[in-house]
Amino acid sequence: MARTLAKNNAHFRRALAKLPLGVSSNFRYWGDDKTLYVKTSLGPRLWDLDGNEYVDYRLGYGPVILGHRHPEVDAAARSGQDVGTVFAMSTEREVVVAELISEMVAAAELVRFSNSGTEAVMAALRIARGFTGRERYVIFEGSYHGLFDAVMWQANVEELENPDDEPELLAFGQGVPGFNKQLLHHLPYNDAGRLEDLLKRQHDTIAAVLIEPLLGSCCGIPSTPEFIQAVRELCTRYGVLMVVDEVKTGFRVARGGAQQHYGVKADICTVAKAMANGYPIAAVGGREDVMRMCRPGGVTHGGTYTAGGMPLAAAERCLRILRDTDALDRVHAYGRRMQEGMSRILDARGIAHSYAGHPSMNGLFFRSVPPKNYRDWKRSDYTFYDTLAQFLIENGVMCEPDSREPWFVSAAHDDAALATTLSAFEEGVDWTTKTLARDGHGVHAGQEA
Ligand SMILES: Cc1ncc(COP(=O)(O)O)c(C=O)c1O
């Protein structure tokens, strides 16, 4: 049965009168007749205003690691209200959650809470600058570190004549002051040689190398083990702080995040999304000597809502579940089974494909080798993915329409969700192949372009 969006569309028109684009984040606007509003959710599923049901692989861009409306986490959040919301004072539970984070993430010797990933990364950068007394910092092409001016830059690789030329830096939209570029070094990912050249020449001006261990907003492209180890080694050699941004990977890729997965220990790291199953809380953690910079006369850190009663209680429950149960193993096993199922369908049709990232947050590519970095992705043909994703969304599988976002898995994804997903996927692959052939787009040759 064809999906109807009459109620979603009517709501969009009403919302547009009060909210720019009818939404509260630019990324939630999918077009005047395609923007969806959630009515409710449960476990691996959500329903839009028209009652259309979807198996959800976006999970709010990753946080909902245990599934929507998890009864234990929600009950814990409600019990957080027994303490209250915020006090401009601390509560007992802060240390309990900080101890849990330290136990799970080795680098987080000391912890401070924030409300969002963006705030945690801002704090990490400020602490690194305070500790080193330096202002410059390094980020890598294809990274996403949140919506604050210092990191809202992308490399304009499309207009490079020679792939080794230095790309122009473009802001993510208007309103980002150009002077930020003066402090920023923007380097290709998975290229330790370029980082070494820079640090050799300029380490005494650089506070931090900020790295996402998997490019969570660029298809989950992973750091090679050699690259992330080299970043660690070069930061140590040149006295620059290694800041690992685990806002998406933390408590998801492994209990100790991507740092555990790779066997590296940051000087400072950030965690956020999976720590409270969607309640707004994040943390910055790091070496004791670095984190003790947060003091009067040192680095200023805080905020009215940090470590509020409900999110903190939700975080405690969610982290205990991730630490003590097989929830994360189930997330990983489901991700692997989904990849195997998709590969069976694609192999049977001779369609080249590969996966990047981790089974818990994986990028699907219609090429035999996944991209190694942002430049590689930018130059690849993602028409097949984009076309297939539209079909899947229209047929009950809420994957990311933008091929840069990985598919996120929760512990609530079960056999029924997998069956729905693979059946829609099979139909979608055939539909996409036919549609692209009809439109004159060579499917197989095109995908390998
Ligand atoms: C690696 C990384 N850092 C920071 C952020 C920003 O987090 P938030 O959206 O909670 O501000 C994100 C969000 O997707 C992220 O993936």
Q: Residues 347-387: pLDDT tens digits?
A: 999 999 999 999 999 999 998 998 888 888 877 778 999 99
Q: Show which of 324, 349, 379 is a domain's final residue.
A: 324
Give residue 445's pLDDT band: very low, low, confident or very high (50, 70, 90): very low
Distance CA 291, CA 111 (A): 7
Name beta bridge partners: 222. 214
- Both 233 and 369 in one domain: the answer is no
> How many domains are there within the chain?
2
Q: Show which of 324, 353, 377 is a domain's final residue.
A: 324
Q: Is 146 in the pocket of ligand 1 (CB under 6 A)?
A: yes
pLDDT at 158: 76
Atom of ligand 1 nearest to the CA of 119: 11
- Both 88 and 60 in one domain: the answer is no
Which CATH number covers residue 346?
3.90.1150.10
- Both 97 and 170 in one domain: the answer is yes
Q: What are the two backbone dihedrals, phi and then psi, of residue 6, each rounded to the nearest 5 degrees?
A: -55, -45
Helix axes 309-324, 93-104, angle to 10 degrees: 30
**Residue range of the domain that includes 334:** 37-68+326-447
Q: Are 313 and 274 in contact (CB under 8 A)?
A: no
Q: Is 117 in the pocket of ligand 1 (CB under 6 A)?
A: yes
What would the pLDDT profile of 225-256 be if each residue is shown by its tens digit?
999 999 999 999 999 999 999 999 999 999 99
- Both 343 and 443 in one domain: the answer is yes
Distance CA 340, CA 252 (A): 20
* Ligand 1, atom 5, residue with closest C-alpha: 146
What is the CA(271)–ligand 1 centre distance, in A?
A: 9
What is the CA(195)–ligand 1 centre distance, in A?
A: 23
Q: Show which of 271, 303, 324 is a domain's final residue.
A: 324
Question: What b/e string do you get for 357-372 counting C-beta neighbours within 10 Å, with b at 16 or more?
Answer: bbbbbbbbbbbeebbb
Helix axes 71-80, 309-324, angle to 10 degrees: 140
What is the CA(266)–ligand 1 centre distance, in A?
A: 18
- Both 270 and 398 in one domain: the answer is no
Atom of ligand 1 nearest to the CA of 61: 14
- Both 188 and 149 in one domain: the answer is yes
